[in-house]
């Protein structure tokens, strides 16, 4: 399989105004890609787009989109395609976490979490597929998580959205293989970004997430760029999540006990 050539490709990135998204915008731009930054905050979006465009030879444009408004997605994708002539790579990066014990967390919050973390990526994927099929080429990169394979107590909503995204990714990969379209799942591990500060807690259970053993967004962006170039099926950063996933395969009851001790809910 030949490496994927990033230069001159159009890369659309959600959650592009901070963290992994912004780092990917800069990393892919440095590799010669044309960048479509997608975010809901217009002021931040314009600032970040200007930041990327200030890089030597970079081409970038910002597109305002609140992923909770799924009906707006097709229109924004059409804007990007009109501006750049298509979309070659879609990076579904945006997402947030709802946390709390299952008995305390409102069902409506589960629904909102799924709208942003699952249904919005799904709608974006559906919107870009026709253009990629016409070119007989493309990549869809879904930023998932290790908790999409081994869930944690207190984070059932977020875990469920990532389990769903992983299932979608598996099916999508098989469906798009005949059109030479890569579908890549990324598990970035713990990242030093605003994500952890923006967790929405409900009910009695709240857990501080220690800022240790976290990788920078820039390192994760390089990891994603490498996975893109190598056309990997799946790429997971080595860490506790990856170790736990493999251990869970062989000794699930042991992992249950370890997690119950680490994340006490009583």
For 159-168, write each residue's pLDDT tens digit. Answer: 999 999 999 9
Contact 118, 95 (CB under 8 A): no
**pLDDT tens-digit profile of 124-150?**
999 999 999 999 999 999 999 988 988
Cβ atoms < 10 Å from Cβ of 121: 28
Contact 17, 37 (CB under 8 A): yes
Looking at residue 168, its pLDDT comes to: 98
Q: Where does 54-106 have alpha helices with state H?
A: 73-84
pTM, rounded to two decimals: 0.93
Name 178's Cβ contacts closer than 8 Å, sequence gap at least 6.
none
The domain made up of 10-239 has a fold known as Rossmann fold (3.40.50)
Give backbone dihedrals phi and psi of 75, rounded to 5 degrees, phi first. Answer: -65, -40
Contact 142, 120 (CB under 8 A): no
DSSP lists the bridge partners of residue 215 as: 191
Q: Which residues are marked as active site?
A: 158
Give backbone dihedrals phi and psi of 263, rounded to 5 degrees, phi first. Answer: -120, 65
The rounded mean pLDDT for the chain is 92
Using CA atoms of 247, 248, 251, 254 in order, give the dihedral in degrees to the nearest 10.
100
Q: Where does the chain have alpha helices with state H?
A: 19-30, 42-53, 73-84, 107-114, 120-135, 156-176, 217-230, 240-250, 252-262
- CA dist., res. 236 & res. 216, Å (int): 15
Q: Residue 265: is its pLDDT beyond 90?
A: no
- CA dist., res. 133 & res. 129, Å (int): 6
Rounded to the nearest 5 percent, the helix, strand and coil shares of the chain are 50, 15, 35
- CA dist., res. 259 & res. 143, Å (int): 24
Q: Residue 238: is its pLDDT beyond 80?
A: no
Q: Residue 212: is its pLDDT beyond 90?
A: no
């Amino acid at each position: 399989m030949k490496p994927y050539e990033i230069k001159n490709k159009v890369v659309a990135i959600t959650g592009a105004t901070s963290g992994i998204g912004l780092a990917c915008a800069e990393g892919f731009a440095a590799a010669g890609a044309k960048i479509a930054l997608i975010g809901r905050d217009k002021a931040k979006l314009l600032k970040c787009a200007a930041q990327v465009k200030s890089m030597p030879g970079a081409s970038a444009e910002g597109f305002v989109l609140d992923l909770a408004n799924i009906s707006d997605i097709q229109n924004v994708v059409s804007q990007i395609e009109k501006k750049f002539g298509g979309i070659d790579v879609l990076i579904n990066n945006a997402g947030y976490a709802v946390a709390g014990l299952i008995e305390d967390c409102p069902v409506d919050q589960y629904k909102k979490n799924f709208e942003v973390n699952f249904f919005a990526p799904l709608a974006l994927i559906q919107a870009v597929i026709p253009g990629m099929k016409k070119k007989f080429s493309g990549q869809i990169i879904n930023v998932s998580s290790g908790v999409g394979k081994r869930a944690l107590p207190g984070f059932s909503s977020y875990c469920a959205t990532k389990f769903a995204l992983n299932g979608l990714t598996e099916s999508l990969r098989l469906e798009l293989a005949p059109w030479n379209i890569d579908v890549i799942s990324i598990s970035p591990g713990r990242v030093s970004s605003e994500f952890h500060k923006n967790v929405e807690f409900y009910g009695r259970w709240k857990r501080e997430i220690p800022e240790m053993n976290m990788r920078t967004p820039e390192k994760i962006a390089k990891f994603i760029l490498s996975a893109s170039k190598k056309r990997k099926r799946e790429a997971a950063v080595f860490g506790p999540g990856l170790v736990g996933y493999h251990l869970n395969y062989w000794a699930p009851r042991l992992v249950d006990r370890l997690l119950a001790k680490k994340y006490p809910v009583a």
